[in-house]
Amino acid sequence: MKEISFLAILAACVAVIFVFSCRTPTERLMVQPAAIGGAEPVGMETCALCHEDMVKTFKYTAHACLSIAADDREVMGCEACHGAGSLHMEAGGGRGRFIINPKKNPEPCFQCHLEIKASFNLPYHHPVSERRINCTNCHNPHGEDIYKAKGLRIGRENEVCRQCHREQAGLRVFEHEALRDGCTICHRPHGSIHDKMLVERDSNLCLKCHGQIAMPGLITIGDFSHTTRLAGGTCWSAGCHTAVHGSNLNPHLRY
């Protein structure tokens, strides 16, 4: 028993080293790096002179390994999003001084994440392009939460969603255990071709966890035959399980 846990710890350490080391810089197609007229890149260690804490956590994120070729130069790390920093540094730093702050504007992110840009253009999407919410409502660009489960990818997903959707993410008397796996089991976080940004538009959304095929053509869920019920509409819109996020009244999530 002891031996197994020792091996598990060792394996975990190796995994951590593997994840946290930045051996090969990531090459990635970029449309156009953030540009500040007349400025030259100075590198992350220079930013660290004044923004020490940020650089410390940032080094553990996927973005720390970024390297972009721009005008025969290499732009790395911080400057990939904030633009070249020489003028900002010479001016002694400061807000609004020769540096880009992408707080409200997702464009610097879209320069590299073209596929994410595409998902925000799908018919049902979070209003990021409309500037009502921003990438940084859900992602931390500097990795302060990197030590949580999924790092930059979002530590505790449901808590992120709860900031704005208290009703769906709130505690219920009869919880729906599906929510323990995270909202993204059923919703695309950026955008979807389906209403309410659902992963699937029909009962297959639910059948991937529920339901057994008793005989070809016969579907039971729980102990009940659902064959004819499933023909009546989706599990949630046919008036059967409208409380998909959990219920305070009914254990079968009927309302």
Segment 136-195, which members bind ligand HEC (CB under 6 A)?
Answer: 136-139, 141-142, 151-154, 157-158, 160-161, 163-165, 168-169, 176-179, 181, 183-187, 189-190
Which position's Cβ is nearest ligand HEC? 93
Q: Nearest approach, Cβ of 1 to ligand HEC (angstroms)?
A: 30
Q: Nearest approach, Cβ of 5 to ligand HEC (angstroms)?
A: 27
Do 143 and 136 contact (CB within 8 A), yes or no? no
Residues 40-59 that bind ligand HEC (CB under 6 A): 42, 44, 46-47, 49-51, 54-55, 58
What is the rounded distance in angstroms from the CA atom of residue 160 to the CA atom of residue 149?
A: 13
Please count the residues of this chain forming the interface with ligand HEC, following the rule CB under 6 A: 97
Q: Residue 227: phi, psi to the nearest 5?
A: -55, -50
CA 91 to chain centre: 35
Question: What are the distances in angstroms from CA 172 to CA 3, 155, 181, 184, 210?
Answer: 42, 23, 16, 19, 21
Residues 105-134 that bind ligand HEC (CB under 6 A): 106, 108-109, 111-113, 116, 126-128, 132-133
For residue 67, give every residue at least 6 positions away whose Cβ sits within 8 Å of its Cβ, in sequence order, or none. 25, 26, 27, 74, 75, 76
Selected from 38, 92, 216, 217, the binder of ligand HEC by CB under 6 A is 92
What is the rounded distance in angstroms from the CA atom of residue 187 to the CA atom of residue 225?
A: 27
Q: Give the Cα-Cα-Cα angle 203, 205, 209 (nearest 5 degrees).
A: 105
Residues 196-255 that bind ligand HEC (CB under 6 A): 196-198, 205-206, 208-210, 222, 235-237, 241, 244-245, 251-253
Give the nearer residue to ligand HEC in terms of CB position, either 9 or 121: 121
Residues 58-87 that bind ligand HEC (CB under 6 A): 58, 62-63, 66, 68, 77-82, 85
Give the nearer residue to ligand HEC in terms of CB position, either 1 or 192: 192
Q: Nearest approach, Cβ of 159 to ligand HEC (angstroms)?
A: 9
What is the rounded distance in angstroms from the CA atom of residue 154 to the CA atom of residue 138?
A: 7
For residue 175, give every residue at least 6 positions away whose Cβ sits within 8 Å of its Cβ, in sequence order, or none. 246
